[in-house]
Amino acid sequence: MFLTRFQINPARRGARKLLSSPQAMHAAVRAAFPASDDYERPGSRTLWRLDTPATATVYLYITSPGRPDLTHLVEQAGWPTTATWDTREYDPLLGTLQPGQRWAFRLTANPAHSGRKTAEAKETQRFGYVRESEQEQWLLRRATRLGFAVATQRDGRPNLRLHHRRTLSFSRGAYPVTLTTVTYDGILEVTDGEAFRATLTGGIGHAKAYGCGLLTLAAAEGATAGR
Amino acid sequence: MTVLLLKLAGPLQAWGSSSRFARRGTEIAPTKSGVIGMLAAAKGIRRTEPLTDLLGLEFGVRLDQPGQILRDFQTARSLDGRHSAPLTYRFYLSDAIFLAAVQGDAALIHDLAGALKRPCYPLYLGRRSCPPAGPVSLGVEDIGLDDALKTWPWQATDRYRRGAPRIVQLEVIRDARPGDQDTETHPDEPVSFDPAHRQHTWRSVLRRHVPVTNDLAESSGVIDHDPLSLLGG
């Protein structure tokens, strides 16, 4: 597995198109892999996410089974003469994951449930969770199955911050797509190494093609103050 | 001294201090005459009756959520449509929330707090068409007016607070005291609300900012997240 970071130049026209449509970004990420094997393998798939750490700074993070080539992205939406992208081997970190470890994490996901629009409706469909409390519960309910537990703060609440809660709307061909997305920041504790590895490589929840489901880790030292 | 705290919040508010004729303006914050008038309405004092001890109250307000100015061009006609009222511009504050404090004698303040719970006449936020959203009285505190406005929690909506920084500076407008520097005057000290000879005098006010911590700030607890740092190189 590989973890890649690419900085987007938001002043470029190509970047505007990619940032405004997850459908276009999905296609651009897909085009970074010559062989379909590099994009998706049994048990692992390509996931991506946009992070905005500061105004006008946009990072694209990608985890993928194969090594991506983002030359086309640099040409359309980057800085072709000065900066390219950063790809690191993900396996060394994945190999060291063990129960009991604490990590700071960030996840952008599409918290949703399926149901019927009306009692008489024949077909079930997917509905996004819009309330903050429901979005929080959505992740907490899944955590055990995904191989981790969200740490508890001193005040007894889960160490979790929800931000960038929004409803995305874009067109996919002739049809509109509407997605509720939210970014979770917090501290987690690994409970099941194997399941957690599968979570990092396979993603969480729906809308993985549209920038959801990628969970990334960072050192938790600075963030354990809340404990 | 004893302080009565009021939460002035509603979809629309209108606090005019110098409106004349067809242009009915609003200040950016509740006026003393408007709030004293509301307290008088709660106590059941008629417009023609003297305000007596309400005139001695000290007043201050904190702009917890400034809201936006809304202009209404009003073209009212009579019920049968034959006569038109003068065309007026009416200005409102929409989606604003204020924390107002009234300081005075303890017995009077407790009396007013009780009256706000069971008002004699309907309460409204500066204009009859602007009812308050929820109870107006936040209760009585046995601290000074300045301390009350400084320490009382921020009343803005959760949505507004989430978008605000960790520490916000809220504007406080209160009655000036002897010796205060940099004061301004407004025609906003009520003397009589009698429709036959309504009277206001000038009121000196002082504007200050107080810092309030915002526990809902979106950035609170969110740290820089650099997943590449774990992978070396």
Q: Are residues A118 and A182 in the same domain?
A: yes
Q: Are residues A164 and A175 in the same domain?
A: yes
Q: Are residues A210 and A105 in the same domain?
A: yes
Write down the pLDDT at residue B162: 81
Query: What is the identity of the amino acid at A18?
Result: L
Q: Residue A45's CB: how many other CB atoms inside 10 A?
A: 17
- Contacts B219 to A, Cβ<8 Å: 163
Question: Over 60: is that where the pLDDT of B220 sits?
Answer: no
Mean pLDDT in residue range B81-99:
95
Q: Are residues A145 and A191 in the same domain?
A: yes
Write down the pTM of the prediction. Answer: 0.59
Distances (CA, A) of B196 to B15, B23, B192, B193: 21, 21, 10, 9
Q: Residue B147's CB: how many other CB atoms inside 10 A?
A: 12
Question: Over 70: is that where the pLDDT of B60 sits?
Answer: yes
Q: Are residues A25 and A102 in the same domain?
A: no
Residue pair A185/A160 in contact (Cβ under 8 Å)? The answer is yes
Among A30, A59, A94, identify where a domain stops.
A94
**Separation of alpha carbons A48 and A64, rounded Å:** 9
Nearest residue to A63 via CA among A144, A5, A143, A128: A5
Tell me, yes or no, if A104 comes closer than 8 A to chain B by beta carbon.
yes
Task: Confirm whether A175 is domain-assigned.
Answer: yes
Question: Over 60: is that where the pLDDT of B201 sits?
Answer: yes
**Separation of alpha carbons A183 and A212, rounded Å:** 9
How many domains does chain A contain in total? Answer: 2
Write down the pLDDT at residue B15: 95
Cβ-in-10-Å burial (0-12, 13-18, 19+) of B21 comes to exposed
Question: Over 70: is that where the pLDDT of B173 sits?
Answer: yes
Q: Are residues A64 and A126 in the same domain?
A: no
Tell me, yes or no, if A130 comes closer than 8 A to chain B by beta carbon.
no
**Separation of alpha carbons B162 and B65, rounded Å:** 13
Provide the CATH number for the domain around residue B109: 3.30.70.2660
pLDDT mean across residues, chain B: 91
How many domains does chain B contain in total? Answer: 1
Q: Are residues A50 and A66 in the same domain?
A: yes
- The nearest CA of chain A is from the CA of B225 a distance in Å of 6
Q: Are residues A114 and A215 in the same domain?
A: yes
H or E element, residue B187: strand B184-192
Write down the pLDDT at residue A163: 85
Q: Are residues A132 and A52 in the same domain?
A: no
Tell me, yes or no, if A219 comes closer than 8 A to chain B by beta carbon.
yes
List residues of chain B with CB under 8 Å from any CB of chain A. Answer: 218-233
Among A78, A94, A110, identify where a domain stops.
A94
Q: Are residues A215 and A171 in the same domain?
A: yes
Three-class secondary structure of residue B182 per DSSP:
coil
Higher pLDDT, A129 or B231: A129
Question: In this structure, is the dihedral angle defined by the CA atoms of residues B9, B177, B147 and B102, taken in order, positive or negative?
Answer: negative
Provide the CATH number for the domain around residue A86: 3.30.70
Residues of chain A with pLDDT under 50: 222-227
pLDDT tens digits, one per residue of A190-204: 999 999 999 999 999
Distances (CA, A) of A71 to A32, A49, A76, A79: 8, 18, 9, 11
Q: Tell me the ipTM for this assembly.
A: 0.78
- Contacts A218 to B, Cβ<8 Å: 223, 225-227, 229-230
| Domain containing residue A33 | 2-94
Distances (CA, A) of B64 to A175, B3, B216: 43, 18, 14
